[in-house]
Structure 1
Amino acid sequence: MKMKLRIGTRGSDLALWQARYVASTLAPEAECELVILKTRGDIIDHVSLVEVEGKAFFTAELEEALVEKSVDLAVHSHKDLPSEMRPELTIAAIPPRAAMHERLLVRRESLEKDGAFLPLRLGATVGTSSPRRQEQLETLRPDLKITQLRGNVPTRVNKLRDGKYDAIVLASAGLDRLALDLSGLVDIALPIEWFVPAPAQGALAIQTRKADVELIAFLKEMLHDDSVERAVAAERELLIRSGGGCSLPLGASLVGAGPFTALAFLGKDRPTLGTPARWARAAADTPDHASELALAKLMDGNATRHGPFGGKSISLCGSAESNVDLANRLEGLGATVVRELAIEFVDLPTPDLARTFAALGERDTVVFTSAHAAARAHGNPRPKSRVAAVGRATAAALEHAGWRVDVVGEQGAAALARSLEVEVGARVCFPCAEETVGELERELIARGVRLERVPVYRTKPVEAPALDPNADVRIYTSPSAVRAVAGAEKALGTNPRLRLALGESAASAMQAADLEVDGVFHPSSDDGEGVVHRIARTFCRLENQR
């Protein structure tokens, strides 16, 4: 006589598919009845998951039914289970795992095939209810607008079709199990190497009472997959040891059958404030050891050299202090950033600098185009004039010196010079490099503006600059850097896949030195995202050509 079993399940389409899958697998030996229960997660579908962390939002009612013996077993999406369960209960079996990766569903009008990392237009609205997905989206594409997305899988897809979002991120397992009609949408599988799924994603958990020893043995025989259990245990252990629950922006996946590779992601400000979001990868002979190694890399807080730019070498050619924010951004995406020291700054004696600033009137303007020049403001009272800066780094240097900044040029020196309102008879004071004749000067002189150059430093080329012969990308940060290393690069005999110039002046210097210019950017306008996007698109194109 067949065993009779009551299977507790949520009532969503996906939950019912999962329960029916279990019932059909057990059918040769058991007669199964589905008992549908509503959880708070089904009832409260307008609250962010961050607000309900650790509250068994999708599982508490099923566990209560097990304890009360109104069901014999419960079927869960394993990733929904809290790290601690009721002491009377146990996981009896974990069936073979479905696909663990994520998928990006995109409305066709929102598609941008050349979009960096994700084929989405700039500023696209992406729906997700997961802190982990949100952190990875924002780390890859800071321009995206992330908004909450709740409801069951068909509801989420319909919200996308209705135009409430440009794109949404969903687990591939749920889409595969439901076999939803996705016609009219662009369906993109996201690589798990740099869009890491949740621990246990794609796996089911069959929960029952510890006391039901015979049932546990039966479920294990009929449903259980040892290899999935080991991988899921290692993934969830990584989550537990990182000190988080469902709201922690952490991804973890174990792949391979020996050696095993652990892939992980941890969002920003963990374990301490100011720590950037980062990816990690580690291989070992066991899932547990691979997980331990990946966790150690994540919690170290330093650049891990893993992520979408993992394995790539990017050279920043300039001074030791240039483009710190860009370097940090590239390292955060996994690149190995090599600082190629091409020039040094030598401060010039400026005994009359304080007097120069004091002589500026309210109608005048003082403009700084570099953080090094801005640092010379330190110790000098702020003038009565307007104070303008090119780029956020320059503005930050002025604010550090105690100067309030009135205008920040977000599109480079030339754009600031064109937009700067200067009254007739007023002057523009320009603390700069001794050798500078750049975009700002040319534009202001063309406008007939009275310009007062104040050299505060000069650049000095480094003798025998050391260039990275293995650079995939070389970024020239100034025309002085180009002039300092052009000969050395030609003598090197190896070419980077991509040469980029930061600013029109650097690009002009590259052309004069007969170096190919693959792109010109003003990172002051977007924290270097234009540079990041160009590099990402180039790497993608090169990979597709293989």
Structure 2
Amino acid sequence: MKRKIVIGSRGSDLALWQANHVKSRLEAIGLKSEIKIIKTQGDSFFNLSFSKLEGKGFFTKELEEELLGGTIDLAVHSHKDLPTESPEGLRIAAVSEREDPTELLLIHKDFVDVVRPLSVRYNGIVGTSSARRRVQFKSLRPDVDFEELRGNVPTRIQKLRDGEYHAIILAKAGVARLGLDLSDFHVEEIDPVEMIPAPAQGVLALQIREKDTELFDVLQQINDKNVAETIGIERKVLNLFDGGCHMPLGVFCKKEGPHFQVWTSMAEDEDDFPSRLFIETDSIEGLPERILEHYKKKKNTIKSLFISRELSEDSYFARALKKFNLDIEDRSLIRTFPIINAFDSYILKKVDWIFFNSKNGVENFFRMEPVIPKKIKFGVMGRGSEQELRQHGRIPDFVGDSGDIREVAEHLLPFVKGKSVLFPQAKESLRTIQNQLGEQIVSTDLPVYETIHTSDIGQSSADIMIFTSPSNVEAYLQNNNVIFMNQKVIAIGKSTGNKLEEFGYTNYVIPYSPDEIGLAEAVFGLL
């Protein structure tokens, strides 16, 4: 192909980075190109929320008009800005690799409180113009307030630096592409499993004229087909929800081996608590339609739920279930008791990591007020253990966010391989994570508590039964007369599921993440 390609781009630093990235990709396959800067409507509407702009063409219309007029050959877009249907005469010829779709939470250092989830101080002011981000953040931190945040990425960061907000939320992709210095902020990454991103977040779309088949064929050399497949599901869900720009909607799809994993978060408006759905499947045939159907169906067949844990009224799980008017029976079937009051502090001098399998492990370890060397890093299983660790002023360096202990061990191994790891745990622990890591670490077990079954277990007739630990399963099922009568069963992790199987029960659901968000997703999936 001999002609020089004219690339159309907005003029912001991020848009120009994206255009130059595509330009370098074209040069790598032998295409010469130049960049033409085009101003869009979205660059002029400084007082209108992004939630009213994204996905409706405010950042793309002028680029598309120049494409149709022939003054440019290729437009580079942030894919999430595009309407779900291309204008007549245009098409998406290729998509880029996907930059990390994680959200970044930047907190002014004067307003950090690591004891609280997401580390923003109580009643903090968070800057974002995304309804999707507001709704999901509010579900985790109902005390915070939000204010509109406009401008390009450097401008938004400077507003935080100037103290206009206590914290702001940005897409990690944009910050990473610009290589911005964030050293004067407290920075936390919010995993896409925790805060579900916008459909196609982190992906660039290369748009051309529909009749330009020559350019289309050449662009297939830089088209990421795997990304196109996964974001195709996300964008189809967005389309089925009628565009979704006014609806706080997040969709994230990833492929793990032969399996597609899809997370959806949807609220009716900014005052609604988001309903989250997780689906894992080997086939994408009809998958977006299946997601839409689940949200549209009336949830009236399940009336009650049992969970083997006491819930506070302000817990995420309790608030997530309020809209479904379920009768909730929350009671633990076990009690925990500390079994040591002190240990040889010399142990900690030899340790590189401390890993907690449960909130009880965290609580009973810190009850002894250990003096912890600064070099030690912390790992936890699930966000419940993370929050307990935060209560002691520590932020974990690793959070296992899967209900499958094998996946957690796989993700943890690069951090701890060849290291010495201390495991504060229950007496007679199953040692699941240690068994998975095996001889690749130097492990030290530290029993700090034991569990005892309560005397009055009782049988529940709830429609959904949730077991939060192997000990609770054992306490409930040790009476051979106990059976599940058409009840749906959720086990918070694989170890808990294995304990169910020991009692001959195999028909259960494991949430993707071993925490209250994962439990809420699993319950919504069963309703």
Global fold match (TM > 0.5) = yes
Residue in 2 aligned with 1:370?
Answer: none
Residue in 2 aligned with 1:84?
Answer: 85
Residue in 1 aligned with 2:329?
Answer: 339
- How far 1:146 moved relative to its partner? 0.7
Q: Hey, which bits of structure 1, 4+ residues long, moved more than 2 A?
A: 49-55, 243-247, 286-305, 311-317, 323-328, 330-334, 463-473, 491-494
Flag the structure with more relative contact order, 1 or 2, with Cα contacts below 8 A and sequence separation at least 6: 2
Alpha-carbon distance in 2 for matches of 1:64, 1:316:
55
SS in 2 for 1:170: strand
SS in 1 for 2:4: strand
Alpha-carbon distance in 2 for matches of 1:103, 1:47:
22
SS in 1 for 2:77: strand
Instruction: Specify which of 281, 293, 298 is matched with residue 295 of structure 2.
Output: 298
- How far 1:326 moved relative to its partner? 9.2
Residue in 1 aligned with 2:253?
Answer: 254
- How far 1:47 moved relative to its partner? 1.2
- How far 1:464 moved relative to its partner? 7.9
Residue in 1 aligned with 2:47?
Answer: 46
Residue in 1 aligned with 2:189?
Answer: 189
- How far 1:85 moved relative to its partner? 2.1
Query: In structure 2, do the counterparts of structure 1 residues 288 and 161 end up closer, same or farther at CA, with 3 Å as the change threshold?
Result: farther
Query: In structure 2, do the counterparts of structure 1 residues 333 and 172 end up closer, same or farther at CA, with 3 Å as the change threshold?
Result: farther
Matches within 5 A, 1:209-224: 209-221=209-221, 223-224=222-223
SS in 1 for 2:129: coil
Alpha-carbon distance in 1 for matches of 2:170, 2:200:
15
Alpha-carbon distance in 1 for matches of 2:11, 2:225:
28
Residue in 2 aligned with 1:60?
Answer: 61
Matches within 5 A, 1:10-409: 10-28=10-28, 29-52=30-53, 55-116=56-117, 118-221=118-221, 223-257=222-256, 258-268=258-268, 276-300=273-297, 302=299, 313-315=308-310, 328-331=318-321, 338-339=328-329
Q: What letter corresponds to residue 111 of structure 2 in structure 1?
A: S
- How far 1:331 moved relative to its partner? 2.7
Residues 248 and 269 in structure 2, CA contact (< 8 A), matched pair in contact too: no
Residue in 2 aligned with 1:485?
Answer: none
Alpha-carbon distance in 1 for matches of 2:254, 2:516:
25
Task: Kindly tell me the number of residue pairs found equivalent between the two proteins.
Answer: 347
Residue in 2 aligned with 1:450?
Answer: none
Alpha-carbon distance in 2 for matches of 1:324, 1:166:
23
Alpha-carbon distance in 1 for matches of 2:251, 2:314:
30
SS in 2 for 1:233: helix
Q: What letter corresponds to residue 252 of structure 1 in structure 2?
A: V
Query: In structure 2, do the counterparts of structure 1 residues 313 and 109 end up closer, same or farther at CA, with 3 Å as the change threshold?
Result: farther
- How far 1:316 moved relative to its partner? 5.9
Alpha-carbon distance in 1 for matches of 2:72, 2:37:
10
Alpha-carbon distance in 2 for matches of 1:180, 1:330:
36
TM-score where L is the length of structure 1: 0.57
Residues 313 and 472 in structure 1, CA contact (< 8 A), matched pair in contact too: yes
- How far 1:51 moved relative to its partner? 3.8
SS in 2 for 1:205: strand
Alpha-carbon distance in 1 for matches of 2:173, 2:317:
37
Alpha-carbon distance in 1 for matches of 2:301, 2:275:
7
Alpha-carbon distance in 2 for matches of 1:10, 1:304:
51
SS in 2 for 1:200: coil
Alpha-carbon distance in 1 for matches of 2:144, 2:285:
35
Alpha-carbon distance in 2 for matches of 1:90, 1:292:
23
Residues 262 and 290 in structure 1, CA contact (< 8 A), matched pair in contact too: no
Query: In structure 2, do the counterparts of structure 1 residues 81 and 132 end up closer, same or farther at CA, with 3 Å as the change threshold?
Result: same
- How far 1:77 moved relative to its partner? 0.3
- How far 1:194 moved relative to its partner? 2.3
Unpaired runs of 5+ residues, structure 2, are 333-455, 478-514, 520-527
Alpha-carbon distance in 2 for matches of 1:295, 1:224:
28
- How far 1:300 moved relative to its partner? 3.7
SS in 1 for 2:22: helix
Residues 261 and 278 in structure 2, CA contact (< 8 A), matched pair in contact too: yes
Deviations 1:62-108 (A, max 9, x none): 00000110101000000000122211100011121111121111111
- How far 1:286 moved relative to its partner? 3.0
Deviations 1:106-139 (A, max 9, x none): 11121111213x2211111001111111111122
Alpha-carbon distance in 1 for matches of 2:63, 2:227:
23
Query: In structure 2, do the counterparts of structure 1 residues 193 and 288 end up closer, same or farther at CA, with 3 Å as the change threshold?
Result: farther
- How far 1:276 moved relative to its partner? 4.0
Deviations 1:427-482 (A, max 9, x none): xxxxxxxxxxxxxxxxxxxxxxxxxxxxxxxxxxxx98547997549xxxxxxxxx
Superposed CA RMSD: 3.8
Residues 315 and 337 in structure 1, CA contact (< 8 A), matched pair in contact too: no
- How far 1:302 moved relative to its partner? 4.6
Q: What letter corresponds to residue 95 of structure 1 in structure 2?
A: S
Alpha-carbon distance in 1 for matches of 2:275, 2:322:
6
Unpaired runs of 5+ residues, structure 1, are 306-310, 318-322, 343-462, 474-488, 495-534, 540-546
Alpha-carbon distance in 2 for matches of 1:22, 1:341:
56
- How far 1:40 moved relative to its partner? 1.0
Larger Rg: 1
Residues 78 and 205 in structure 1, CA contact (< 8 A), matched pair in contact too: yes
Deviations 1:481-526 (A, max 9, x none): xxxxxxxx9x9599xxxxxxxxxxxxxxxxxxxxxxxxxxxxxxxx
Residues 263 and 294 in structure 1, CA contact (< 8 A), matched pair in contact too: no
- How far 1:25 moved relative to its partner? 0.8
Q: What letter corresponds to residue 245 of structure 1 in structure 2?
A: G
Matches within 5 A, 1:471-486: 472=468
Q: What letter corresponds to residue 23 of structure 1 in structure 2?
A: K
SS in 1 for 2:48: coil
Residues 49 and 130 in structure 1, CA contact (< 8 A), matched pair in contact too: yes
- How far 1:254 moved relative to its partner? 0.5
Residues 63 and 74 in structure 1, CA contact (< 8 A), matched pair in contact too: yes
Residues 82 and 246 in structure 1, CA contact (< 8 A), matched pair in contact too: no
Q: Percent identity?
A: 38
Q: What letter corresponds to residue 134 of structure 2 in structure 1?
A: Q
Alpha-carbon distance in 1 for matches of 2:263, 2:207:
27
Alpha-carbon distance in 2 for matches of 1:72, 1:126:
40
